[in-house]
A and B are shown apart, each in its own frame.
Chain A
Amino acid sequence: NAGVTQTPKFQVLKTGQSMTLQCAQDMNHNSMYWYRQDPGMGLRLIYYSASEGTTDKGEVPNGYNVSRLNKREFSLRLESAAPSQTSVYFCASSSRQAQFYAGYTFGSGTRLTVV
């Protein structure tokens, strides 16, 4: 099925470790986004990429970096994980056409725990 694929689904890290969350979409969408979701906080935008080759900070970018590898892939990197980064991470994608009927398409999420 077409959609947004995130890996891994679960991850436990020790404080100070690094890791990369992968996201790929096969809908030919131009825009891709990374959100984090914490209890009672809704979804907060970390970084986004409005088009291939561009990335911008969102609301909570500190401690993260991103790479828009190509049109399909947008990765999120934690260079030195901290317990405050324990969260559920969602990748999403969209295009101007898709927004008229579906808003974003979300991946299934990555549950990250930093101990």
Chain B
Amino acid sequence: EDKVVQSPLSLVVHEGDTVTLNCSYEVTNFRSLLWYKQEKKAPTFLFMLTSSGIEKKSGRLSSILDKKELFSILNITATQTGDSAIYLCAVLVNRDDKIIFGKGTRLHILP
């Protein structure tokens, strides 16, 4: 059975800290790994990772994929209160283009 496991499930840090969110997966027909940020409404797309070892970066957020060890990390540096959200890791599989989501990491940034 395909699964995506995120850790930690919940994290509270102070503004300015750096956080690392983890995602491991076991799926058949892997195509890509995706990260989403979810605040009050629908998830919004952050990154798509397809190749191992190539870091994707957007401002203070960055992510990398290890296809040999089947995991990815999402780093957020110099966190701000606006980074408080649920961060979802998901894997896109080839069969019917399905996306399988992890349970998410709820991140709370204290001012």
Seen from chain A, the residues whose Cβ lies within 8 Å of a Cβ on chain B are 31, 33, 35, 40-45, 48, 50, 56, 58, 90, 92, 94, 96, 99-104, 106-109
CB closest chain-A residue, reference B6: A42
Contact B101 A44 (CB under 8 A): yes
Contact B41 A108 (CB under 8 A): yes
Given contacts A56-B96, A90-B42, A103-B90, contact A42 B101 (CB under 8 A): yes
Residues of B within 8 A of A99 (CB): 31-32, 48, 92, 97
Can you give 29 A-B contacts (C-beta < 8 A)? A31-B97, A33-B98, A33-B99, A35-B101, A42-B6, A42-B88, A42-B102, A42-B103, A42-B104, A43-B88, A45-B99, A48-B96, A48-B98, A50-B97, A58-B98, A90-B42, A92-B99, A94-B97, A96-B97, A99-B31, A99-B32, A99-B48, A99-B92, A99-B97, A101-B48, A103-B90, A103-B92, A106-B43, A108-B42
Total contacts A to B, CB within 8 angstroms? 60
Chain A interface SS verdict (over half): mixed
